[in-house]
């Protein structure tokens, strides 16, 4: 029996990533460097940056994965990992982001994702005072690897970036080998709830959905519109009747799922397959996405792990 398109796409990822990763360590360009960021902007970086403003957790985690915690000079208020960044100066939070604070801290590079207006608020003001800004976009799981490579070139850490990508790809390849030949398991991933019967889930063609596919899952709603937010009703979940229900959150939140109106009849509830899963591993597009894939795979295919 031929593998499903879902599994074929997932199994091919690590090979594609390894083949398309730039030869970072062997062709490091001189400084200054001109890079193209996620918005298609040409960004000139004069020298290896020593004081980086890292906006959003994903960018902090990628920079930390390159061994650059000591060069992170500023973060925003919702960053919690790795623990070593606790206490770093804050340059943003619920009320927005401050170009003045980034300048005052002597930053020579700002890395951000275009969420919560960060790029709109920071790129032009920082450009006027000569601080380069790099905007990264995590559209899918291969894009996370592309961004590791981009940050390696932006910071002069091509070798650590290549080594990190190799380690992550090796783990994904091992996961594919372990799941080879196993049919995908239908699942629903709940990422949020509005308290009125609508539930957030993974957007199609996103890094989170790629993680679920990599883990041997078949998302219950693979064809939702790309427009954010990706939400479905409780009635739609009942009709889909997934075999596994994953909740990105705490165990006590997952324990509440069977008590929702009508949810006791879900196949996942009847078979005891409602599980909490790591929010960072599924919703923060950094190096921990591989841990997320491994965790979900163990829940979907426990027999493959002995």
**Does 4 or 203 have the greater pLDDT score?**
203
Q: Which residue has the tokens 């005891």?
A: 272
Q: Is the pLDDT of residue 228 over 70?
A: no
What phi and psi, each to the nearest 5 degrees, are found at residue 43? -120, 120
Quick one: pLDDT at residue 227? 63
pTM, whole model, 2 decimals? 0.89
Q: How far apart are CA 120 and CA 135, in angstroms?
A: 10
**Does 182 or 118 have the greater pLDDT score?**
182
What SS3 class is residue 5? Answer: helix
Q: How far apart are CA 3 and CA 93, in angstroms?
A: 45
Q: How far apart are CA 277 and CA 297, in angstroms?
A: 11
Most confident of 1-10, 66-75, 226-235: 66-75
* CATH class given for the domain over 29-155: alpha beta
What the block records as the tokens of 23 is 């030869």
Quick one: pLDDT at residue 116? 84
What phi and psi, each to the nearest 5 degrees, are found at residue 8? -60, -40
Cβ–Cβ under 8 Å, residues 162 and 152: yes
291 burial type by CB count under 10 A (0-12 exposed, 13-18 middle, 19+ buried): middle
Q: Which residue has the tokens 């608020």?
A: 121
The DSSP symbol for 183 reads: P
CATH 3.40.50.1980 placement within the chain = 29-155, 183-305
pLDDT in tens, 251-286: 999 999 999 999 999 999 999 999 999 999 999 999
Q: How far apart are CA 6 and CA 210, in angstroms?
A: 10
The DSSP symbol for 30 reads: P
Pairing of strands 52-54, 72-74: parallel
What SS3 class is residue 202? Answer: coil
pLDDT in tens, 17-59: 443 444 444 567 799 999 999 999 999 999 999 999 999 999 9
Q: How far apart are CA 204 and CA 222, in angstroms?
A: 6
Residues 6+ apart with CB under 8 A from 264: 258, 270
Q: Which residue has the tokens 């360590």?
A: 25
CATH superfamily of 183-305: Nitrogenase molybdenum iron protein domain (3.40.50.1980)
What the block records as the tokens of 143 is 């894009």
- Average of pLDDT values for 128-152? 95
Quick one: pLDDT at residue 18? 42
Quick one: pLDDT at residue 94? 80
């Amino acid at each position: 029996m031929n593998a499903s398109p879902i599994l074929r796409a997932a199994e091919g990822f690590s090979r594609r990533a390894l083949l398309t990763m730039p030869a970072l360590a062997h062709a490091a360009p001189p400084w200054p460097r001109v890079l193209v960021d996620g918005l298609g902007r040409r960004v000139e970086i004069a020298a290896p940056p020593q004081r980086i403003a890292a906006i959003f957790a994903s960018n902090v985690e990628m920079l930390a994965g390159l061994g650059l915690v000591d060069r992170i000079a500023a973060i925003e208020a919702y960053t919690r990992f790795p623990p070593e960044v606790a206490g770093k100066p804050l340059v943003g939070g619920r009320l927005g982001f401050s170009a003045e604070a980034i300048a005052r801290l002597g930053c020579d590079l700002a890395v951000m994702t275009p969420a919560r207006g960060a790029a709109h608020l920071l790129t032009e003001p920082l450009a006027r005072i000569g601080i380069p800004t790099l905007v990264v976009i995590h559209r899918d799981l291969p894009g996370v690897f592309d961004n590791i490579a981009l940050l390696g070139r932006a910071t002069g850490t091509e070798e650590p970036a290549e080594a990190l990508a190799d380690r992550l790809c090796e783990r994904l390849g091992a996961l594919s080998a372990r799941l080879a030949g196993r049919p995908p398991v239908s699942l629903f991933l709940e990422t949020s709830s509005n308290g009125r019967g609508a539930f957030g889930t993974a957007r199609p063609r996103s890094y989170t959905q790629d993680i679920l596919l990599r883990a041997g899952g078949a998302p219950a709603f693979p064809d939702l519109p790309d427009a954010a937010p990706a939400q479905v009703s409780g009635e739609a979940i009942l009709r889909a009747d997934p075999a596994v229900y994953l909740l990105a959150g705490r165990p006590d939140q997952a324990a509440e799922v069977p008590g929702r109106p009508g949810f006791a009849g879900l196949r996942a509830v009847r078979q005891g397959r409602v599980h909490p899963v790591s929010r960072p591993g599924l919703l923060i597009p950094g190096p921990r996405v591989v841990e997320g894939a491994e965790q979900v795979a163990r829940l979907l295919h426990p027999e493959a792990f002995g």
